[in-house]
Homo-oligomer: A and B are copies of this chain.
Amino acid sequence: MNRIVWLALMVSQIGFFSSASAQTADFQTDSIFFRKMADDVLSSATAYENLRVLCKTIGPRLAGSPGMYKSEAWAEQVLRAAGADKVWKQAVQVPHWDRGGKDEAWYQVTDANGKKTRIQLDILALGNSIGTGKNGLFKKAVLIEDFEELEKRKEEVKDAIVVFNNVFNPRNLSVGQSYGESGAYRRAGPSRAAKYGAAAILIRSVSASANDNHPHTGTTSYDSAYPKIPAAAMGLQDADKLIAALKAGKSIQVYYKSLAHFKPDATGHNIIGELTGSVFPDQYITVGGHLDSWDPAEGAHDDGTGCVQSIDIIRAMKAMGYKPRYTIRVVLFANEENGLRGGAQYAQEAKSKGEKHVFALESDAGGFTPRSFGFT
């Protein structure tokens, strides 16, 4: 993870500081400076310790949840400890989706003799999904391979629970590509099925590992043209069993209960720390990650690492006594996971204030060895 901080530093340095001083400083001076900064980042254990505290003492921090408030206080304190010249909070109204306790599901297989067998299903409501009501749903399950098959069999899904067989493609060397493809069913599945009268949908957990049964959540969204229906992800081992039974033509009904619901919007904050530029204090180089994380886990890679490595840029520059020419701004965004409202608020305020951002780099791909960065 420290290696990502190092990359971020290189990017910010190479692009702006050295070119601005190219006429006076030579390549060798820059090179020594980069190495010194890299050494500081690689030698410091601060980012790891910050990550430990964020994950282990705060943990889940979804927008509106108690963890959100705790993580905001933590971020302010850690940015100050890192040596930021200025730490401030940018208020943003965030959605407050609440899972409402443990999701429950099982399915009932009826054999040729009418004998019924009940099998547990490890399940997790998708973020932003509506709930089923306290009595749950008990409906016929219909297996649908993909959106194309849904169009062909649209008459069959009315009042049923659609089970999408959105297999995670293991053949891509880029796991992110498979995540995007399989995730299409998580994002658009509910409304695509609701269009034809489905009562709910279940998808395969959008995750690479076939060796565990822990469903992965992630956000869904609804097309306002159709009714909202409950949506959940199944653990992959359970999904394999259910789908095999459906493929074998068994008569299956699924019970699914979720008390997921929205509470009124809450006031969250983008937490921002700055090192004021010595030459261009009103021009910004921004780095950041998102502070929120899903409710069932600790959000280490998504996106604790993005936060702590961004903070570490301020710490490293301060520790070296380096005064940046441009203002370095670290932004820990609110509500990326189920709303993107923190990013939207930041962009809107930057625009309305006429702030000049010369470069911005967000890290939200996990704290692995950095290979590349992209432009969007």
Cβ contacts under 8 Å, A52 to chain B: 211
> In this complex, which of A48, A170, A172 has the most chain B Cβ atoms within 10 angstroms of its Cβ?
A170
A42 at the interface (CB under 8 A from B): yes
Residues of chain B contacted by A209 (CB below 8 angstroms): 48
1/0 per position for A245-258, CB-CB distance to B under 8 A?
Answer: 00000000000000
State whether B43 touches A171 (Cβ < 8 A).
Answer: yes
Alpha-carbon distance between A132 and B13 when the two chains are bound, in angstroms: 54
The answer to the question of A38 belonging to the interface, with a C-beta cut-off of 8 Å to chain B, is: yes
Question: Is A45 part of the binding interface, using a Cβ–Cβ cutoff of 8 Å?
Answer: yes
A32 CB within 8 Å of chain B: no
* A172 / chain B contacts, CB cutoff of 8 Å: 42
CA distance A43 to B170 in the complex (A): 5
CB distance from A38 to the nearest CB of B (A): 7
Residues of chain B within 8 A of A173, CB atoms compared: 3, 42
Q: Which of B39, B45, B48, B171 contacts A171 (CB 8 A)?
A: B39
Flag whether A282 is at the interface (Cβ < 8 A). Answer: no
| Any B CB within 8 A of the CB of A355 | no
Give the shortest distance, in Å, between A4 (CB) and chain B (any CB): 12
Beta-carbon contacts under 8 Å, A156-208 to B = 170-173
CA A52 to CA B212, docked complex, whole Å: 11
**A42 contact from B2, B39, B43, B170, Cβ within 8 A:** B170
Interface membership of A111, Cβ < 8 A: no
Say yes or no: A171 contacts B42, CB within 8 Å: yes
Smallest Cβ-Cβ distance to A38: which chain B residue: B171
Interface size on A, residues (CB 8 A): 17
Q: Are A45 and B211 in contact (CB under 8 A)?
A: yes
- Contact check, B38 vs A210: say whether CB atoms are below 8 A apart: no
The distance from the CB of A372 to the nearest CB of chain B, in whole angstroms, is 14
Q: Say how far A205's CB is from chain B's closest CB, in angstroms.
A: 15
- Near B by CB (< 8 A), chain A positions 14-38 give 38
A49→B171 contact, CB < 8 A? no
- In this complex, what residue of B is CB-closest to A44? B170
A209 to B49, CA, bound (A): 11
C-alpha spacing A38/B173, complex, angstroms: 10
Residue pair B39, A210 in contact (C-beta under 8 Å): no
The contact string, 1 if C-beta is below 8 Å from chain B, for chain A 36-70, is 00110011010011001000000000000000000
A210 contacts which chain B residues (CB < 8 A)? Answer: 45, 48
The smallest C-beta distance from A2 to any residue of chain B, in angstroms, reads: 8
Instruction: Name the distance in Å between A210's Cβ and chain B's nearest Cβ.
Output: 4
CB distance from A312 to the nearest CB of B (A): 13
Q: Which 7 A-B pairs have the closest CB atoms?
A: A45-B210, A39-B171, A43-B170, A42-B171, A42-B170, A48-B211, A43-B171
**Could you give 17 example pairs across A and B, Cβ below 8 Å?**
A2-B170, A3-B173, A38-B171, A39-B171, A42-B170, A42-B171, A42-B172, A42-B173, A43-B170, A43-B171, A45-B210, A45-B211, A48-B209, A48-B210, A48-B211, A49-B211, A52-B211
